[in-house]
Amino acid sequence: MSKPVVAIPSDFREFDGNVWHVVAHQYVRAAVEGAGVMPFLVPALESGNDVDEILDRVDGVLASGARSNVHPSLYGREATEEDGPFDPGRDATSLPLIRRALERGVPLFAICRGLQELNVALGGTLATEIHEQPGIWDHRKPDVPDLDVAYGIRQDVIVKQGSCLAPVLGVGRVRVNSLHRQAIASAAPRLAVEAVADDGTIEAVSVIGAKAFAVGVQWHPEYWVRTDAASAALFKAFGEAVRAYRERKRK
């Protein structure tokens, strides 16, 4: 039996004068190995993507992390230099794809930037340089060359009783690798907070009333999907939702 297909919005990047549509390998690997799906990389076009044509051909959406940030104009703020870097092609691709996937009941898993896109797509706002706010821990990725160290599991999040993540991760403290300098400032009205850090930072959300799996996490389960039980559980749950959606489509 063929594997279900999951769309991953690309980033628009420049290398040596050429421009590329790219997705970090760790997300592709986690989709294949952790969720058991086949990734389909969606080009980061500012115009020209047909969202329904894309969703007609896939069984899920994985909104990955990225170095860029959602442009503040999309949540009602003027941009400053510290808000960047930006990726208009990624914004124009990912936000409409997220909204339409939710409308159609296509399973959605949003990670890091993807969680922030999910929040903005549904009307929420973001805060930048959160480590400068009183009482907020420094969630930024350590500036070290060893990626295993940079993505090290080093922080607790608290999964709420009764949340949709509770059956997946359990209730209470879960150790994760949350690496970010932006975070949700105000959660979109349709989002339920699933998990928070000890400093109150929102670390996971779900979409209220979603027709299928629709979860966002601020940390990086894709990096340790091979060896960390919590990371593997998230991708397994997403994969199961994707397969269930494909079966419903076929009936």
Distance of CA 195 to the CA centre of its chain: 14
Catalytic residue among 117, 194, 203, 222: 222
Contact 99, 52 (CB under 8 A): no
Distance of CA 174 to the CA centre of its chain: 18
- Residues 71, 112, 117, 139: which is the catalytic one? 112
| Helix (H) / strand (E) containing 97 | helix 88-104
Do 136 and 159 touch, CB atoms closer than 8 A? no
Burial, 132: exposed, middle or buried (Cβ in 10 Å; 0-12, 13-18, 19+)?
exposed
Beta partners for residue 21, in sequence order: 12
* C-alpha closest to that of 227 among 142, 140, 152: 152
Pair 109, 238: CB distance under 8 Å: yes
The strand pairing partners of 42, in sequence order, are: 9
Active-site hit among 71, 139, 180, 220: 220
**The amino acid at 14:** E
State yes or no: is 164 an active-site residue: no
Largest interatomic CA distance in the chain: 53
Residue positions annotated with a catalytic role: 112, 220, 222
